[in-house]
Each structure stands twice: as C-alpha cells, then as structure tokens.
Amino acid sequence: MADKKYTVRKRGRPPKSVINDKPSREILEQLYEQMILIRRFEEKAGQLYGMGHIGGFCHLYIGQEAVVVGMQSMAEEGDSVVTSYRDHGHMLACGMESRGVMAELTGRKDGYSRGKGGSMHMFSREKNFYGGHGIVAAQVPIGAGLAFAHKYKGDGGVNMAYLGDGAANQGQVYETFNMSALWKLPIIFVIENNQYGMGTSVSRASAGLDLADRGKAYGIPGLQVDGMDVLAVRAAAREALDYCRSGKGPYILEMKTYRYRGHSMSDPAKYRTRDEVDAMRKQHDPIEQLRDLLLREGVDEAGLKQIDKKVKGVVMDAADFALASPEPELDELFTDILIA
Amino acid sequence: MAVEIKMPALSPTMTEGRLSKWLIKAGDSVRSGDVIAEIETDKATMEVEAVEEGIVGEITVAEGSEGVAVGAVIARLLEEGETALPEEEDAVAQSSTLAPSEQVLPADLAMVEADATPGSVLPLPPDPDWNGATKTQTVREALRDAMAEEMRNDDRVFVMGEEVAEYQGAYKVSQGLLEEFSDKRVIDTPITEHGFAGLGVGAAFGELLPVIEFMTFNFSMQAIDQIINSAAKTLYMSGGQMGCPIVFRGPNGAASRVAAQHSQCYASWYAHCPGLKVVSPWSAADAKGLLKSAIRDPNPVIFLENEVMYGQSFDVPEHEDWVVPIGKAKVVRPGSDVTITAFSIMVGKALEAAEQLAAEGIESEVIDLRTIRPLDTEMIVESVKKTSRLISCEEGFPYAGIGSELAVQMMEQAFDYLDAPVMRVTGKDVPMPYAANLEKLALPQADDIVAAGRQACYRT
C-alpha cells in the first residue's frame, strides 16, 4: 500500500504556525493557480518532448508541485533559490516567465539561457534563481555559498537549496551541512523525497530512512513534512525561514512527495507498480487536495474553471512562443565563454 | 664517543635555517623529549626535542646563527662515563647532505610544512615593464601583498581555505591577513575541498569575490567537479547571466620528496577546459601582479603557485598598484638561436640551461608563459619566426601536456618557420617516486633542457 510508504511522522516541535497559518481565500487561489500552472506546463513540455521539439534530458515535476509552491509562497524578496535539474517548477514558482522557460526547453534564442543551457541549466539573477544544476547535489554547496553571501552582505536573505532523496547521499551534502552549521549560514535544505532516486527507492539507497534526521550530527533541526499538502509545506517553510532569518543557522525540511512521471522522459518507471502511482494520484494529489479545500471554502466550480482556463492560455502561449522563437544564431556558439 | 645533535630538517624542502635559541647549556643533563632549541624557518619557529639522554658536552653552533645547514652538528652530548670532549671541530662549517639527524626531531612537525629555503636572489634581466624603484621580496610575500591590497580595495574580496586564518597559511602565504581583515573575510574551513570549492562558487554567484586556497592543487581533485562543471561552465549555460568571479589558488606541482599524491602539475588539466583562465607565475613581481589581476577578473581563474618558489626572492616594483595582465607572456632572456618556453619553477631551470647553452655558443630566447590559458601564442610565434626552434618545458606529464599543445599551435601557426621539430622537456610519464634519486630523475632538469637545446640546433 502506497499509503504506508507515504506516512509522515511529526518530529521535533510541530510548527506553531500550522495552527496560525490560515491563508486567505485569495492566497489559496494563488497557490492553486501556481500549482496548476506547473502541472499544465509540465504536461505540455512532455507533449513537446514526444513531438521532438524538446531534446536531451527532461525531468518533469508533476506530482511535486506543492513543495516548491508552498515554499516560495513564504519566501521574501531577496531570498535566493538553487535546485537540481528537475527545475521547471522552481523557475515558475520563482516568478520566471513561462515563455522564456519553454523557449529554453525547445533550445531557442529567446530561452533564459539563449538556448545554451536547456532543461537542466536555467538561471535568473533578477528572480534570485541560481539554477538549474545538472550534477546531483552540486547545487547544495552552491546554495551554502549564496547563504554565505547573504550573511556576508547582511542583506537578511535566506537561501533555499532544493535537493532530492538521491542527492541526500552525496558526500558534498554533508560537507555543506557541517560548514553551514559551523558558520550558522541562513540556508534551508529542502529535501524533496519523492521516494526514488532515478529507479532506486529510498529504502534501497539510504541507511536510515528519515532524511530529516540527516543533520542531527551537526545540530541542524529537521522536520518531516507532508509535501503533498501545500498548507503543511507553508507552515514548515514559515518555521524554517524564521529560524534561519533569526541567525540560528541552517534547517532541513524533508518533503515527503511523489513524482508521477518517470525520472526523465526516457524512463519507463518499471521499478514501481501502476497501482502505487494511481493510489498516490487518487489519495494525495496536491492540486486535488487544494481544490477540495477551495470548494469547501466556498469557491464555486466556475471560479476554479476560470483559473484553469487562464493557466491553459498561459501555457499555450508559452508553447507557441517557444516554437516560433528562432534557434540561436550560429555565432552564439562562441559567446559567453569568458567575460571580456 | 659523544652523541652528535644535528640540525634537523623541519619540512620537506628545508635546506637550512636559523638557530634562534638554545634552551640548554653545556653541563645540563638532557632527557629524551626535552625541548633543547628553537629553530626558525622563514615561515615558523619550531621547537626541537632531544631524542637521547646525556649531559650536554658542548654547543657547537651559537644561538642566533643564520643559515645553518640541515645535517650540520649543532651540539654534542656526552655518553655515560665520558667527561670531556674529543678534539674540537668546526661544526658550522660542516655541511652535510645527509638526512636529518636521528638525535633530534622537531616537536611538532606537521605533514605539510613550508619550505624554509631562503633561496638565492636570482639574477634577473631588467623588467621592460618597470623602470622605477624595486624592493626585494619573496614570492610568498608578494602573493600575500596582492591579496591584502585587493582586500583593501574591495570589501567583497575574501580568502577561504584550510589553515588560511589562525595558522597564517599552511605555507604562510596568508600571513597577517586575519589580523588585518578579521575572521569575516579570512576564513578557516574544515578539510572539505569539494564543499568549500562549491561554497566559493555560490558566493561568487552571490556577487562576492572569493579567493579559495587549496593547500595544494593535488587536493583540488576532490573539488574538480565544482571547478569545471559549476565555475567554468555556468556563464555559458546561463547565456551570459551568471559570471563566476573566483580565484582558486595554491601550490601546484612537485615540492620535495612528497611522492606521487602530492607532486602533480595541473596546468594541463585546467587549461583543457573552456571557461577557465589558468595562470602560473614564476617571479615574485609576476606573482603579485597576476594575482591582483586574477582577483579583479570577472571569470574563474586557476592560479598555480609552486611551493619551492615561495621562498625565492625577486625584485618587485615599488608601485601602489602593480598589476600584470593575464594572457601576456614575457621574454625573460632574449636570444636568436632557439626559443625555450617555460612557466613557474621551470623558468628558473630554463634560464640556467640558457646560460650553459650560451657557453656553447647557442643563444636561447627564454619566454615565461605566465598565463597558460589564454596562451600568448603571438609572442611565441614571433620568437619562433626568429629562432626557428622551440623547446617547451613543463614539470607535468608529457601526455597531452602543455608542450603537446604548443607543438600543434606551432604546426598551425609557424610551420614554415620551423627548422627542427618542436621538443618537449617534461616530467617523466610516471607517478612521482619518493626516493631522492628517482625523484630527481622524474623531474625535468636544466641539463635536460641543455640537451634538448643542442639537439634542436643539431649540435649533438
């Protein structure tokens, strides 16, 4: 039963803000819109991949939307974000344009990296989004460096470094835990535990299944969070952000989540059953859960349809834009290697 | 028979030192473990312990003596029953090439220690870039001054690495920086190269200007993913948005007797990758001017120093802001018969070889590459047009080395001017051995350059 695997145990102090965080209907609608945007965007990306418009590796975020949307909804202007290669959702949640992201996926000149980065390597200084990194866990010390810069400059910012359950076994993560705790860097390690590092389940890869505890030896508090519940994510984000911003050092949030699609587009996902995926979708889908809440809160179906329609328009526009944008000029091959 | 106490070597590259203080005098009884003297290298004062028991018979090297050779007898212990010493000997004059005495051991000899070689001031041709006043400085001091000046100029510059702060640098290159700039900007790291290299990259993305020290570049292999995949490639992958203004610096190549894992040259490794600049100075003036340029450069710069060079003295311009541009080589000896290129410690060997060749009637033009990437091929081609011969010298392995690159560059750009095949003088294609004789054989020597010079000029 998928449910058993998905059990979330509360540990440490339950976030006080769980009780206090009662988002307004307006905020709930925004969260819904952002999650729907990521899902529709990713579905479109998958479709374009199938049609040959997107090449290479393409890792979809479908199923995990509540994590980044919940986290970023609590972030403040000036906080920085860094993540791995499953990054489309993070970029959209950071406010990057869906047009620019999609055009990068299609390898066109109007993409965020002018077609030279692709799915795994996109950045926006303007939105404080520092990638988009293709090497598993390499983003973790980079996040600590960004946190170091926040502290050095005294700008009050916090870095959110997202990593997967697979990355949580890389040595550099522990080097970073050590330095971050030693120097009290303002960084939240958001471990998106989607249960599989490519085709290997957490239970086959990790001794000690509670990744939230991985910072214990360094004195880093950890919280295991229902990453399929955007409100639980928000509450945890509040707790961790307050902790980091007050100068106490790093924080670990283990988000129990699930990706519905394969590791990448070319992954047939034979390592898990169809039933397991279906059960997650039916019982824990983050968007459906929020949709139910919104309906209970008195939003009518028509209102939600309105949002769906708006998002569909944005995604269609992004796809059209990404297909219409020309490929980069050939002399682009030799630009951006060094700053003159 | 008295037991001789000899001047100990306190680091792999130390050949002599100053006997700064005696803590014993004739007639004292000494037990093993007693601290008997303090010896000063150019980076630290270290305590020396007695290993054997006995009565101090005589002190043969006075307190305050400078330049005491490793292996020289500095004191004698009387053995049981002995009451007087045999005939006098002038121990100071007695220089030995033997291993340090077994009678004394340094009290706290870290595995990695700086060389204590004060080194000779090398005769340098006048610097065409500078006609003003100069002062004599070691490479170590020049590097320190470069960092200090840039830290004063720009408060975004910080220095991070193992032992850079409180210890004052494993090789004392960062001496005094902590005191001036505080622990906010001079930061001791745990032993965690992969982690702090990545952290440095992130800080550079966050608009700081990190100077990341590797205790040796051998340890940078732990961090090479962050250097190549994160620092070097992100500008390109971000369509020009994400520059990474970072300097990775530290000693590179062989020191002395530290064997295979601590004796490799990484010039070719890092020069291979687009997105990095690779600098490797020889003189103190260039070390200072190029490090300042590297810190100001908006790109990631690999700055390869050499442990043996740290104690070497050179004339350094007395200028408030001495900067040497990255990407410019330098003719350090003009000549007409053969061009010899070298970088870092090999420049000294190339100059030595040039002297010998000159005695045989071959005039060498010695070019200090200074920057490995971007390479100043224009200067090399101009020189080859004049001499029609090129010898490339480097300490690294021959296979796919800098010499291989130079050979192809000359075929592409100066083929019609060559009168002899381009030759390479390199380290041997073997991991560095420990044994002294084998290590010497593995490293390229001035004699190898001389032989190559003769061959290039068909004077065999």
Specify whether B395 is catalytic.
Answer: no
**Which pairing describes strands B16-22 and B65-69: parallel, antiparallel, or unpaired?**
antiparallel
Under an 8 Å CB criterion, which residues of B touch A?
158, 184, 187, 189-190, 192, 194-208, 210, 225-226, 229-230, 234-243, 274-275, 277, 298-299
Q: Is A57 on the interface with B (CB under 8 A)?
A: no
Which residues, in sequence order, are bridge partners of residue B277? B301
What is the SS3 assignment for chain A? CHHHHHCCCCCCCCCCHHHHCCCCHHHHHHHHHHHHHHHHHHHHHHHHHHCCCCCCCCCCCCCCHHHHHHHHHHCCCCCEEEECCCCHHHHHHCCCCHHHHHHHHCCCCCCCCCCCCCCCCCCECCCCEEEECCCCCCHHHHHHHHHHHHHHHCCCCCEEEEEECCHHHCHHHHHHHHHHHHCCCCEEEEEEECCEECCEEHHHHCCCCCHHHHHHHHCCCEEEEECCCHHHHHHHHHHHHHHHHCCCCCEEEEEECCCCCCCCCCCCCCCCCHHHHHHHHHHHCHHHHHHHHHHHCCCCHHHHHHHHHHHHHHHHHHHHHHHHCCCCCHHHHHCCCCCC
Rg (CA), chain A: 19
User: What is the nearest CA distance from A333 to chain B, expressed in angstroms?
Assistant: 9
Assigned domain for A336 exists: no
Domains of chain B and any CATH numbers: 3-106 (2.40.50.100), 137-317 (3.40.50.970), 330-456 (3.40.50.920)
Assigned domain for A314 exists: yes
Q: Which helix (H) or strand (E) holds B236?
A: helix B234-237
Find which of B160, B182, B186, B205 to mutate to test the A interface (most A CBs within 10 Å of its CB): B205
Q: Which residue has the tokens 């955007």?
A: A230
CB pairs under 8 A between A and B: 147
- At B148 the three-state DSSP class reads helix
User: Which one-letter amino acid corresponds to residue A250?
Assistant: P
Q: Which pLDDT score is estimated for A265?
A: 87
Which of A276-280, B334-338, B372-376 bottoms out in mean pLDDT, i.e. has the lowest? Answer: A276-280
Contact B238 A121 (CB under 8 A): yes
pLDDT at B283 over 90: yes
CA distance B220 to B172: 19
Q: Which residue has the tokens 């077994």?
A: B102
Contact A148 B226 (CB under 8 A): no
Assigned domain for A332 exists: no
The CATH number given to whatever domain includes residue A245 is 3.40.50.970
In 3D space, the residue among B52, B68, B55, B56 whose CA is nearest the CA of residue B20 turns out to be B68
Q: Residue B85: count other Cβ atoms within 10 Å of its Cβ.
A: 14
CA distance A306 to B84: 107
Token pair for B157: 């510059």
Q: Which pLDDT score is estimated for B14?
A: 83
User: What is the nearest CA distance from B259 to chain A, expressed in angstroms?
Assistant: 27
What is the pLDDT averaged over residues B391-418? Answer: 98
Which of A42-46, B129-133, B300-304 bottoms out in mean pLDDT, i.e. has the lowest? Answer: B129-133
pLDDT at A336 over 80: yes
Q: Which pLDDT score is estimated for B294?
A: 98
In this prediction, residue B100 has a pLDDT band, given cuts at 50, 70 and 90, of very low
The boundaries of the domain holding residue A133 are: 2-323
What is the pLDDT averaged over residues A94-104? Answer: 98
Q: Report pLDDT digits (tens) over A6-56.
A: 445 444 444 555 546 689 999 999 999 999 999 999 999 999 999 999 999
User: Which one-letter amino acid corresponds to residue B426?
Assistant: T
Residues belonging to chain A: 340
In 3D space, the residue among B11, B221, B187, B27 whose CA is nearest the CA of residue B114 turns out to be B11
In this prediction, residue A303 has a pLDDT band, given cuts at 50, 70 and 90, of very high
Q: Which residues of B20-55 are buried (b: 16+ CB within 10 A; e: fewer)?
A: ebbebeeeeebeeeeebbbbbbbbbebebbbbeebb
CA distance B34 to B398: 49
**What's the first-to-final CA gap in chain A, in angstroms?**
58
Contact B198 A140 (CB under 8 A): yes
Exposed (0-12), middle (13-18) or buried (19+): which is A296, by Cβ within 10 Å?
Answer: exposed
Assigned domain for A303 exists: yes
Q: Which pLDDT score is estimated for A327?
A: 98
Assigned domain for A333 exists: no
Contact A114 B189 (CB under 8 A): no
Q: Which pLDDT score is estimated for B10?
A: 81
Q: Is A82 on the interface with B (CB under 8 A)?
A: yes
Which of A59-63, B123-127, B397-401 bottoms out in mean pLDDT, i.e. has the lowest? Answer: B123-127
Which residues, in sequence order, are bridge partners of residue B416? none
pLDDT at A266 over 90: no
pTM, full prediction: 0.89
Find which of A80, A127, A152, A333 to mutate to test the B interface (most B CBs within 10 Å of its CB): A152
Q: Which pLDDT score is estimated for A183?
A: 98
Assigned domain for A335 exists: no
pLDDT at B99 over 90: no
CA distance A249 to B40: 42
Q: Which chain B residues are closer than 8 Å to A114 by Cβ?
A: 239-240
Q: Which pLDDT score is estimated for B23?
A: 92
- At B104 the three-state DSSP class reads strand
Contact A131 B190 (CB under 8 A): no
Which of the pair, A265 or A215, is modelled with greater confidence?
A: A215
Instruction: Specify whether the CB–CB gap between B400 and B268 falls below 8 A.
Output: yes
Share of chain B above pLDDT 90, in %: 74
What is the pLDDT averaged over residues B203-226? Answer: 98
- Segment 125-164 of chain A within 8 Å of chain B by CB: 125, 130-135, 138, 140-150, 152-153
Specify whether B262 is catalytic.
Answer: yes
Share of chain B above pLDDT 70, in %: 89
pLDDT at B109 over 70: no
Q: Report pLDDT digits (tens) over B411-431.
A: 999 999 999 999 999 999 999
Token pair for B36: 């008997």
In this prediction, residue B365 has a pLDDT band, given cuts at 50, 70 and 90, of very high
Instruction: Specify whether the CB–CB gap between A255 and A193 falls below 8 A.
Output: yes
Q: Residue A327: count other Cβ atoms within 10 Å of its Cβ.
A: 11
Residue in B closest to A172 by C-alpha = B195
Per 3-state DSSP, chain B is made up of helix, strand and coil in percentages (nearest 5) of 30, 25, 45
CA distance A158 to A140: 14
Q: What is the mean pLDDT of chain A?
A: 93
What is the tally of structural domains in chain A?
1
In this prediction, residue B50 has a pLDDT band, given cuts at 50, 70 and 90, of confident
Assigned domain for A44 exists: yes
In 3D space, the residue among A168, A283, A258, A160 whose CA is nearest the CA of residue A214 turns out to be A168
The partner residue sitting opposite B205, judged by closest CB among A121, A138, A146, is: A146
